[in-house]
Amino acid sequence: MMDHADLAGAGAEGSATVADGGLFGTPLFDDPSARDLARVGVIDIGSNSVRLVVFDGAARSPAYFFNEKILCGLGAGYSQTGRLSPVGRARALSALKRFAALAKGMGVTTLVTVATAAMREAEDGPAFREEAERETGLTIHVVDGPEEARLSAQGVLLGWPGAVGMVCDIGGSSMELAELLGNGAVGQRATSDLGPLKLQGMKGGKKAIKAHIKTTIAALRDRFGAGHKRLFLVGGSWRAIARIDMERRGYPLKVLHEYRMTRSDIRDTVAYIQKADLDELRSQTGTGADRMALVPLASLVLKELVSSLKPEEVAVSSYGIREGMLYEQMSDRQRQRDPLIEAAYQMELSNARMPGFGRALYRFIEPLFGRVTPAKKRVMRAACLLHDVSWRAHPDYRAEVCFDNATRANLGGLKHSERVYLGLSLLHRYKSSRKGTGFDKLVSLLSDRDVKEAEILGRAMRFGAMFTLEKPLDHGVLKYYPKKQLLELRLLTDTGRDLFGEVAESRFKALAGALGAEPVAKGAARSPRPGGQSG
């Protein structure tokens, strides 16, 4: 894996902060004095928006304690004037004052403020930086384009450990590309002037803009090549286009992170945007007016990008530069952890009645799924960790709450189909049938085989919960023989036999029925106790 110094030398001008152990050089949480940090804050001053994100701790899958964005338009009109927008400056300064006060009030112990294209390129960028630092007490770090690309790529790695492909981050005034080489390594990076705010000011109209987009992306293709496994899209304009694609296709799950599109989908959606009334699109998708005004130009960039780079798949990432800065502060050990499993562990610890049982439950039911792929077993592990975190919900709605929580939770490292699989298994943890739940459209994202498997997993967890002990395998063991169509439960102790009461037996039979197997409980009769009768 390349270290930060290697990455700094891979095309970043002026990125000494990486190589010399400055702002982004030393993982913050490697420092023993910082391990008790409760909250980490990031202020991102972009060309179009200013945002404060406060992460709740340094968990591998970050929890967003606070997240607020203000569309200031700092880079509006830059193409004509070479300066920051006066209105944008005032709005951005107001936003920074608010965010500085909020961070102080929240007790944010580490707050990093980063500015990108507008402030690094504008003639009056240094003056505004000085003014903002004086007025707010913040220290603002202006990063160059390649460094911005690297941080955005690391944001993608926070959600997709070991990802391979290209990351494309579009802001108001610039668009960055970075390679993901696998094993957490970021390769070459580049920046361009294809931000929609910058394109708005070009002379020559739409024809000139299209020609410039084509020429610029052709140069990027020559540098990075084409046919990458996956293109990860980062940035508000890309997310707005993805939301429109969801609306056009009638896609049932409105979670942008990990939303997938094909090149054909993008071509159709760009054509749809060019013909549509923007006010109607705003109403349909809930996109703000300032953001929607940039979508037509951003869509032209995206169409040319996927046409030229020809990625096998396009995925939307809600993680970008802010998450990349959190990732920057993690130790290598933390980076290697699975974000889904870490989040599930954290949720179990915070919300389950018996934290720690999820791991034992997984080991108890694992023999039922011997032929399942490692990727699927990973989701099954998460399901077992989450099987009891919604116990406080009203019993009449607990199954539905479980499904909603799984499909809509802020979880990284989870495809949309895996979200639904996870939710469906947790639903069946509490409910035999999904009739009347209204989830059929979401379930349509799964194959019939996966629907059946999720039901079996749910029923297995429902039965396994009857053995809620520290070490359930000491008291009972499941054996499944698919060819014989036999599900066997071997009860090993008197405690196990006591736990295998009427309700447990009923759930065992239901599990066998879902498997299409005959249920056999061995050792169900209790051994006689001294001076008593067998039960």
Q: Say if residues 16 and 321 touch (Cβ distance below 8 Å).
A: no
pTM for this one?
0.86
DSSP assignments along 443-484, one per residue:
HTTS-HHHHHHHHHHHHHHHHHGGG-SS-GGGTEEEEEETTT
Report d(CA 46, CA 117) in Å as an integer. 7
CATH topology classification for 144-330:
Nucleotidyltransferase; domain 5 (3.30.420)
Neighbours of 184 (CB within 10 A): 18
Digitized pLDDT (tens) for each residue of the chain, 535 residues in all: 333 222 222 333 333 333 333 344 433 333 443 444 468 899 999 999 999 999 886 567 778 899 999 999 999 988 889 999 999 999 999 999 999 999 999 988 889 999 999 999 999 999 999 999 999 999 999 999 999 999 999 999 998 888 999 999 999 999 999 999 998 899 999 999 999 999 987 888 899 999 999 999 999 999 999 999 999 999 999 999 999 999 999 999 999 999 999 999 999 999 999 999 999 999 999 999 989 999 999 999 999 999 999 999 999 999 999 999 888 878 788 888 888 998 898 889 889 999 999 999 999 999 999 989 999 999 999 999 999 999 999 999 999 999 999 998 888 889 999 999 999 999 999 998 888 888 999 999 999 999 999 999 999 999 999 988 878 889 999 999 999 999 999 999 999 999 999 999 999 999 999 999 999 999 876 554 444 333 3
Report d(CA 232, CA 234) in Å as an integer. 7
Class at the top of the CATH hierarchy for domain 37-142: alpha beta
Class at the top of the CATH hierarchy for domain 338-471: mainly alpha
Contacts of 150 by beta carbon, 8 Å cutoff, 6+ apart: 7, 12, 18, 178, 186, 189, 324
Classified as helix, coil or strand, 522 is strand
Q: Say if residues 72 and 81 touch (Cβ distance below 8 Å).
A: no
pLDDT of residue 525: 64
Report d(CA 165, CA 312) in Å as an integer. 10
Q: Say if residues 428 and 434 touch (Cβ distance below 8 Å).
A: yes
From 157, 176, 54, select the one nearest 111 (Cα to Cα).
54
Domain boundaries, the chain: 37-142, 144-330, 338-471
Backbone angles phi, psi at 17, to 5 degrees: -60, -30
Neighbours of 343 (CB within 10 A): 24
DSSP assignments along 30-91, one per residue:
GSGGGTT--EEEEEEE-SSEEEEEEEETT-SS--EEEEEEEE--TTTTHHHHSS--HHHHHH
Token pair, residue 175, equals: 């668009």
Q: Say if residues 38 and 49 touch (Cβ distance below 8 Å).
A: no
From 42, 16, 48, 70, select the one nearest 174 (Cα to Cα).
48
Domains 144-330 and 338-471 share a fold: no
Beta bridge pairs of residue 115? 45, 142
Residue 390 DSSP code = T
From 285, 304, 170, 297, select the one nearest 232 (Cα to Cα).
170
Backbone angles phi, psi at 93, to 5 degrees: -65, -40
